[in-house]
Structure 1
Amino acid sequence: MSAAPPAPGLDQTQLVEVAAADLPRLVSLFDPDHPNLAFVHAVIDGAIPGRAWAHFHNDAPVSCLVATTAPFCIAGGAMTPAFFTEAKTLLAGHGEVQLVYPPGPGTGAWAKQAGFTAGRRLHFTRTHFGFITPMPAVPDDYAVVRIDAETFSGLDSPMARSIFGTSAQYAQHTAGFALVKDGQVAADAHGVIGGGLIELGVHTHPDHRRKGLALMALALVSRWGTEQGLRSVITCHADKTPSISMARKLGLTEELSYPIAKAIC
């Protein structure tokens, strides 16, 4: 993943909101190895809520900003100083932002000038497609359930709600599994699906942590994804040791480290 060089005369980016019918045109700005690519496709497909803005030159998209309703926002195409400034303005009111952008000469400095701070995330994926994640044994006092609209409405997982939107939208577009004990969801894992990928995320209730439940829930979603022909992906902050450990235990391999620009907008 690297930033495309700006075309002549494009140093003053002008991002305009992209209509739903034109969203598929933005796919050309993202390489197959672009981090969080499942999120990009999911927004384009209408599987998760989000918005997109793009700069067009001769009616072709040159750069774009895809924003989910979660912190995750993704940039693609040619980066310029003006792009980061405009992105910061467009994301005003968004709250926490983690902007993934294609690295290139000067991009980190441009992000800083626009008011972002630097961060770094890791991208893990499955190198052998036919690999099936081993399923850890589920403790006898926990039950495995497929998350439906009703279960989703009661989850103690702010990140899942911010990513997937309504319970109806979740039930239609997403796969998730939970471990339940005494009627309480102890751990829930989900997958953002798009572009042949399933990007995994998990949340464990504070009362049920340090029992390996997150790994069990993730394994259920990853195995489901493999059965559907999807390649599992996990991304996490570079210093998040538990997430790195779980990704490796799931049989995923670190593919790349990539920069992000962070801000409260």
Structure 2
Amino acid sequence: MSAAPPAPGTDRDQLVEVAAADLPRLVPLFDPDHPNLAFAHAVIDGAIPGRAWAHFRNGAPVSCLIATTAPFCLAAGTMTPGFFMEAATLLAGHGEVQLVHPPGPGIGEWAEQAGFTTERRLHFTHTPFTHTPLDFSAPSPLAPDGYTLVRIDAETFSGLDSPMARSIFGTGARYADHAAGFALVKDGRVAADAHGVIGGGLIELGIHTHPDHRRKGLAFVVLAAVSRWGSRRGLRSVMTCHVHKTPSIALARKLGLTEEFSYPIAKATC
């Protein structure tokens, strides 16, 4: 059971679980340029499953940990060595963890002391000062011969080969209600699919191509479809990837997205 937040004037020296009704109190901890911000808002809004814990001072949250059911976990607010120790304990049994955290002197060392390894990811979006979501549009490539582009619904979700989409959304019903997704289907089977996690005015893009259908340009077709869908609804497209993922970097640029910054993550198997 989630604990009630401390009353004003009281402190909590440990991360305590935040009830669903109190999750909106965590929003001010996330800067507008926080990486994977769509994931944070999606958990807070109840669009994807997840849990959250926070440190409180004088009844207000000063730092928080959000865990999705996917590897992506998010930290925000004031970081301390103890925060990462607590995070490692709370995430025990989670499996693979990619903890996105604020940058700062010494923070990487604190994460490593808690048993994490440090890596970096890249953040891509369409340039915010030259395009608004409504006047940005990804390319509109045609589906290759033999493939049909379809909107992913609850039934299509059951045929997805993507472990990431399954771990983020959990069920086909949740996917149909809260995600934007398109797939290329051939002979009745999903060959490639792309999805968007929606939150905070953003749509964060993800992609999976079945091994039997790679190197055919399918990822570009489905990613572009999701990005265009988001732009028509005023959502800014975002894409992130590890710094060494050359194919993902090329895809982001082909979509018309621009690299804005790199950011640190702490990885572990918990």
TM-score by length of structure 2 reads 0.93
Check conservation: 2:192, 2:219, Cα contact below 8 A: yes
SS where residue 38 of structure 2 aligns? helix
Counterparts of 1:56 and 1:165 in 2: how far apart (Å)? 30
**2:182 corresponds to 1:177:** yes
The alpha-carbon deviation at position 13 of structure 1 amounts to: 4.4
Task: Indicate the residue corresponding to 1:262 in structure 2.
Answer: 267
Task: Indicate the residue corresponding to 1:193 in structure 2.
Answer: 198
Unaligned runs of 5+ in 1: 1-9
Task: Indicate the residue corresponding to 1:96 in structure 2.
Answer: 96
The alpha-carbon deviation at position 81 of structure 1 amounts to: 0.3
Matches within 5 A, 1:14-163: 14-127=14-127, 128-129=131-132, 130-163=135-168
SS where residue 33 of structure 2 aligns? coil
Deviating above 6 A after TM superposition, structure 1's stretches of 4 or more consecutive aligned residues are none
RMSD: 1.0
Check conservation: 2:98, 2:268, Cα contact below 8 A: yes
Unaligned runs of 5+ in 2: 1-10
SS where residue 14 of structure 1 aligns? strand
Residue type of the partner of 2:200?
G
Q: Deviations over 1:83-125 (max 9, x none)?
A: 0000000000000000000011110110000000011100001
Residue type of the partner of 1:23?
L
The alpha-carbon deviation at position 140 of structure 1 amounts to: 2.4
Check conservation: 1:126, 1:252, Cα contact below 8 A: yes
Task: Indicate the residue corresponding to 1:253 in structure 2.
Answer: 258
Task: Indicate the residue corresponding to 2:5 in structure 1.
Answer: none
SS where residue 84 of structure 2 aligns? helix
Check conservation: 1:202, 1:218, Cα contact below 8 A: yes
Counterparts of 1:224 and 1:13 in 2: how far apart (Å)? 44
The alpha-carbon deviation at position 35 of structure 1 amounts to: 0.1
SS where residue 248 of structure 1 aligns? helix
Moved more, 178-187 or 125-134: 125-134
Check conservation: 1:81, 1:111, Cα contact below 8 A: yes
SS where residue 109 of structure 1 aligns? helix
The alpha-carbon deviation at position 66 of structure 1 amounts to: 0.5
Task: Indicate the residue corresponding to 2:216 in structure 1.
Answer: 211
Check conservation: 1:13, 1:80, Cα contact below 8 A: no
1:202 to 207, 210, 222: 207
Residue type of the partner of 1:231?
R
Task: Indicate the residue corresponding to 1:7 in structure 2.
Answer: none
Residue type of the partner of 2:16?
V
Check conservation: 1:13, 1:82, Cα contact below 8 A: no
Q: How many residues align?
A: 255
Residue type of the partner of 1:99?
L
Counterparts of 1:76 and 1:87 in 2: how far apart (Å)? 12
TM-score by length of structure 1 reads 0.95
Residue type of the partner of 1:161?
R
Check conservation: 2:159, 2:189, Cα contact below 8 A: no
Residue type of the partner of 2:143?
V
Residue type of the partner of 1:98?
Q
